[in-house]
Chains A and B, each alone.
Chain A
């Protein structure tokens, strides 16, 4: 793939990426979340069209406009989220979308037979007649691989295949991939886990911020170097940050467990404290339990714990509104999903939490005059760029939307500030401003928990850093830039110190 550029309205996902994958190798694409790995592979598989650049495959420049083209060119992809119909059998899933109905009716047995042979040949151990819903996650993944193989793939793209697997299944998968390569396949393996790169790949390309940082032979590198490639980025700006003396404990968490939406454990017994005048950073690759941790602390999902106290008082199964009264302020991870009501105006968004209280509401009626005055004041104070307080949020830039959230939340004078991904997808100016505001809160005696996948941000703002990996806190360090590689290794699941 040469010089691939793909932009989305807010971000440049791929900024002139050139990678070269040799036939018969396992090529790892390594990078943090948002580095552009999946987008790049989606371009290759025809799910996105690149803005520019070209794809040369087997010596020819080819056009891939849809997954159909990709499959025709013998490229197969196994997505992070499986594309299987649970109520159909393995065979039926493989045949989906491939033939006219009549052909399906006549050929099912033949296809099943062929699948059985292939399954044996590659050691996949899949029964073609089994229903998808009866299979384990690991087996479903093998069905996806079998599907790609059946359609004649000789280049197989795997998007974070181990994210959903148990350690045993992971080992099995990695071994199996080597076997496929021995059978002449080429594999592109997307991951952010260093161990897997070292175990399985022949060569590795590291992406960061939509650009290629390096392509190296796996034998010539080590996890340490890869971690540096992956996380070390240009420093945008430095903030002056004075050391402070943390005060008493504000948030105390012991043995917190949270399940994710599917009911699987996402946070597995974490314990930590956050003190007054202190910013505790939680570093980690996204999807390691940060989302659930934040939701649990904000009272938005059920959780179990040994102890959970805010401001010295235990809080358990308390409604969000009650939590606000204890001084909790939460800046959520996903602005659009949770932080704002897009079709509402700036003024309407600013009263989202306090709309029912004096002085926003007087005898049950909204006090338009006060709401407007207050909004005008906050727009000015937080430097929100908009045509006026009656502009709908959906017309503002991401940075200004986030400033509206910040304005609303910080105006509540937090005692404990929970910030999750405050600057994701936001331009540099707004990013700097938002970070300054967070620091300012620390100096106002606020206890702050900063969750971010942006290591630079974590090191810039935090006093202490905890690293979360697969729902557990696996390390704690003071915020010293010399330790950034250590943190990077922890984030990638390397428990031992280097």
Chain B
């Protein structure tokens, strides 16, 4: 089913490209090459997949708990801000202390940011759809303020912070590529969330609340606590994603540090029916899509808005297919 969604999306995108005056038969091979031609391009794909996997796996947990958490973007920002703060101010610490500290700080701030929305939901019954989106704006805009104000690098005048201490940089394990251990952490987190969700009693409670909160309450499960817990873990994963982006790749914080990972991650999770471990595959797919379309942009001078449009079409198609899964299946089997 996900494969069909992608194929349909690429077909629709082909029409868009044609209308805009580009030849899809020329563009798509370039896109493919941009992602899978050699070790370097593929490592870039994995780098782009890293935050998508972390955020997607986290989101899958909240979706399984029946929470429409659209706040991964803001939680990612929260994590990147705190990671940068720690990375700059504790630069003297040795790596084996600083790296765990930075990652933990990022995860914790993401978790708290998410729990704010969770708290508003369980305490005041405020729709998480609204609160998480609003908190995204707060996080993004506050980050913008920080990098142009209090945290701005003093000399240069760009809207960015100083570099974090070198001791906080995540080790790269496949030189000359930029691939760093953040990718491995993402794989591990996806696996851990999968185990939590499907192998532990805690995960059972979260799933029961997600499918039938009324039955869960009847059975003595504390619905509110499970919602807070799911938000905390999900936000923690997203915050970790933000910390890893800073410590593994950018080494500093700047405005718009996320090109929308938090929103792509929704599709990453939905594409694989909210299965945390499978977000590894869908995360890599979306990473490849981003890398490939950037290549298309460079080589064919396809404008960046068109590239964004193609990514949007893929996400729309994936969501449409996951929402109408049953109807589409029925349509196919009846014919």
Contact = CB atoms under 8 A, between A and B. Distances in A.
B198 to A, nearest CB: 8
Contact of B204 (A300, A323, A343, A366): A366
* Interface range on chain B (Cβ under 8 Å from partner): 10 to 19
Given A355-B205, A356-B205, A298 B218 contact: yes
A348 B204 CA distance: 9
Interface in A30-63: none
Contact of A330 (B199, B207, B212, B218): B218
A344 interface: yes
A390 B24 CA distance: 47
B204 A324 contact: no
A210 to B, nearest CB: 29
Contacts of B214: 337-338
A53 B222 CA distance: 50
A366 B201 contact: yes
Nearest to B212: A341
A360 B201 contact: yes
Interface centre among A298, A300, A337, A352 (most CB of B within 10 A): A352
Interface in A328-345: 330, 332, 337-344
A365 interface: yes
Nearest to A356: B201
Interface in B73-90: none
Given A356-B201, A365-B201, A342 B220 contact: no
Contact of B217 (A320, A340, A360, A365): A320
A319 interface: yes
B258 to A, nearest CB: 33
B332 to A, nearest CB: 21
A321 B201 contact: no
A364 B212 contact: no
Nearest to A339: B215
A364 B211 CA distance: 21
Interface in B201-259: 201-202, 204-205, 207-208, 211-212, 214-220, 222
A482 to B, nearest CB: 38
A342 B211 contact: yes
A353 B220 contact: yes
A14 B211 CA distance: 33
Q: Which of B204, B214, B216, B217 has its CB near the most chain A CB atoms (within 10 A)?
A: B204
Given A341-B211, A348-B204, A351-B204, A366 B199 contact: yes
Contacts of A344: 207-208, 211
A341 B208 contact: yes
A79 B291 CA distance: 58
Contacts of B202: 364
A126 to B, nearest CB: 35
A483 to B, nearest CB: 34
Given A342-B212, A343-B211, A355 B218 contact: no
Interface in A57-113: none
A342 B212 CA distance: 8
A361 interface: yes
A408 B214 CA distance: 17
B200 interface: yes
A356 to B, nearest CB: 5
Contact of A364 (B201, B207, B208, B220): B201
A342 B207 CA distance: 12
A319 B220 contact: yes
B156 to A, nearest CB: 50
Interface in A391-449: none
Given A361-B201, A365-B199, A300 B217 contact: yes
A370 B296 CA distance: 55
A364 B214 CA distance: 23
Contacts of B220: 319-321, 323-324, 353
A332 B199 contact: no
A366 B200 contact: yes
A51 to B, nearest CB: 23
Contacts of A352: 208, 215-216, 219
B215 A355 contact: no
Nearest to A353: B219
A112 to B, nearest CB: 37
Interface in A359-389: 360-361, 364-366
B233 to A, nearest CB: 14
A340 B211 contact: no
B137 to A, nearest CB: 29
A341 B207 CA distance: 10
Contacts of B207: 344
B218 A300 contact: yes
Closest 6 CB pairs of A and B: A321-B220, A361-B201, A320-B220, A352-B219, A353-B219, A338-B218
9 contacts: A321-B222, A337-B214, A338-B218, A352-B208, A352-B215, A355-B204, A356-B201, A356-B205, A364-B201
Given A337-B215, A341-B216, A365-B199, 16 more contacts: A300-B217, A319-B220, A319-B222, A320-B218, A338-B212, A338-B215, A338-B218, A341-B208, A344-B207, A351-B204, A352-B215, A352-B216, A355-B205, A364-B200, A364-B202, A365-B200
